[in-house]
A and B are shown apart, each in its own frame.
Chain A
Amino acid sequence: MGHTMAEKILAKASGKKYLSPGDLVNARIDMALGNDITAPVAIQEFNKIGVDAVFDRERIALIPDHFTPNKDIQTAQQVKIMREFARHFNIEHYYEVGRMGIEHALLPELGLVLPGEVVIGADSHTCTYGALGAFATGVGSTDLAAVMATGELWFKVPPTIRIVFEGVKPPEITGKDLVLYTIGQLGVDGARYCALEFTGPVIRHLDMDGRFTVSNMAIEAGGKVGLIAPDQVTMEYLQGRNKRPFNPVESDEDAPVQQEYRWDVSNLEPQVAAPFSPANVKPVSQLAGTPIDQVVIGSCTNGRMEDLRQAAALLQGKRVHPRVRLIVIPATQAIYLQAMREGLLEIFVEAQGAVSTPTCGPCLGGHMGILAEGEVSLATTNRNFVGRMGHPKSGVYLSSPAVAAASAVAGEIVHPGKVGEVK
């Protein structure tokens, strides 16, 4: 009987021949990540262990991205803790403002997370790298501390839920719509403790940026990882980018899975998650006409090149509705520069949108676009819990960049086809 990607990657990293769901293993970690919220706690705990070196200064990434550029004195102090730790231990991958990006866009871009690897991050959206076929999962700060000291961590081998997207994807359907639909079907705990594996012809035809979006939100269904088997698209993305050699892994065809869903997306409408749950998902037509005060295009979910291109295509030659504030946040400095060269930033500014330096900022209600009482935002981010983007009595709708850009022009939630052509 065959084995799943999740089982095979963990088996290799823990020196076992085979593993089955439920087994507890100690696995070697290929890359460990922390940010300005989680690393300070991890550093505090690391210092209690009593080691005088980190396990590998080239396999730790510390990225201040949540409250940066520092929004106040307290957050400046938090980043200072990270910076001093990074300097003290000569951490190779510490990225300061001006060189940084949102962690889950930056690490793949730099070729630091690779197929077949085990990656942990003290951030729940670490599952993003599943799009490259890495067993990448979010953990807490204490877990990160233990890994920084020992290079190992305990895992329970998860059962796999396989999601097969079939049919022919309409042009306005993006990775975001696929994953929102998945979360809507499974619920916020439908994949609790499980590995999600996305496959089928629609995934095979999806570009890397779209795949990152799909894997990114596996956690919103409770998933431990959101895996996509490496293929030609993956290899082209990694060409000249990977910092280490790697061994791609895929599931055996006869690998037993806990559950399989097959969905034909040929007639799928763009999907929107309404407050206050990412599983409260509806087709855009059911929410059309909902007035909005702010639109945010960015985040680790949807701040990549293809996202910005889709948004710009709809905003070109148009103006953001007078009632709406549009905030666009390219996810990394490289994306920012590329968007500038392609003329996308000009389109956003001429449309009267605000373009920000890379930051997680508004997604978690940190800074750079906080909502007041009663305000509503449509965002390409990943969570819409109570108070997520600001006041506890504000609300967030989640959508693709295409729906977000079109709605910014309309001043209300709208199908992107009503505003322009989706490419």
Chain B
Amino acid sequence: MSIIRGKVWTFGDDIDTDAIIPARYLTTTDMAELAVHLMEDADPSFPQKVSPGDLIVAGKNFGCGSSREHAPLALKGAGISCVIAENFARIFYRNAINIGLPILESAEAAAALQEGEVVEVDLQNGVIQDSSGRKYTAVPFPPFMQEIMARGGLINYVREKVKQGE
């Protein structure tokens, strides 16, 4: 996994999946179509403002509520390169790992990073560097989850397992 460089968009605590992608748009599975409405109830201009490679930085319990995988899919569809939060709601955490959307948990970075600043993220080592050069280390993932992430998601992981079983 490479080094990510991108601009930060900040959000608060308890960003629910209805805020990330409202249910009225869940009539498609296409991530590009979903991305057109990303975060629009929280900030109607967000889909126009965000650019591929940007990062989202949020507080605690990011992605709470509905299990809709359309939420991480919409983030991926908009080209969000990484979501950094103090912590994530459980189902969103699973979904992000399963579909290969990079996420990092760091309370320090979540509190310190400012909207608009450009940060650098070393996903392999979980190190986030802000615009002043200050570094933050994210909570490491258990080896099993790293394995899923290294294969690009759960489907690739299962496909390999199924092949080995044959």
Chain B interface size range = 35 or more
Q: Enumerate chain A residues within 8 angstroms of B1, measured Cβ to Cβ.
A: none
Q: Enumerate chain B residues within 8 angstroms of A146, measured Cβ to Cβ.
A: 98, 154-155, 158
A146 to B160, CA, bound (A): 12
Chain B minimum-CB-distance residue to A390 = B24
At the interface, yes or no: B132 with Cβ under 8 Å from chain A? no
Q: Enumerate chain A residues within 8 angstroms of B67, measured Cβ to Cβ.
A: 38, 121-124, 126, 138-140
Chain A minimum-CB-distance residue to B159 = A49
At the interface, yes or no: B68 with Cβ under 8 Å from chain A? yes
At the interface, yes or no: B27 with Cβ under 8 Å from chain A? yes
A143 to B95, CA, bound (A): 8
Chain A interface size range = 35 or more
At the interface, yes or no: A409 with Cβ under 8 Å from chain B? no
Interface Cβ pair total, 8 Å cutoff = 135
- B29 contacts A40, CB within 8 Å? yes
Chain A minimum-CB-distance residue to B14 = A188
- B65 contacts A124, CB within 8 Å? yes
Kindly provide the distance from the CB of A220 to the nearest chain B CB, expressed in whole angstroms.
8
- B28 contacts A364, CB within 8 Å? no
- Chain A, 60-84, CB within 8 A of any chain B CB: 66-67, 72, 74-75, 78
- A142 contacts B98, CB within 8 Å? yes
- B28 contacts A74, CB within 8 Å? yes
- A222 contacts B89, CB within 8 Å? yes
- Scoring A residues 313 to 324 as 1 if CB is less than 8 Å from chain B, else 0, what string do you get? 000000000000
- B162 contacts A387, CB within 8 Å? no
Chain B minimum-CB-distance residue to A277 = B14
Q: Enumerate chain B residues within 8 angstroms of A139, measured Cβ to Cβ.
A: 67, 91, 94
- A38 contacts B61, CB within 8 Å? no
Q: Enumerate chain B residues within 8 angstroms of A74, measured Cβ to Cβ.
A: 27-28
Residues of B near any A CB (own CB < 8 A): 14, 16, 18-19, 22-24, 26-29, 41-42, 60-61, 64-70, 72-73, 87, 89-91, 94-95, 98-99, 142, 144, 153-155, 158-159, 161-163
The contact sample of 9 A-B pairs, CB cut-off 8 A, is A48-B159, A138-B67, A138-B91, A149-B162, A192-B61, A222-B90, A277-B14, A385-B16, A387-B41
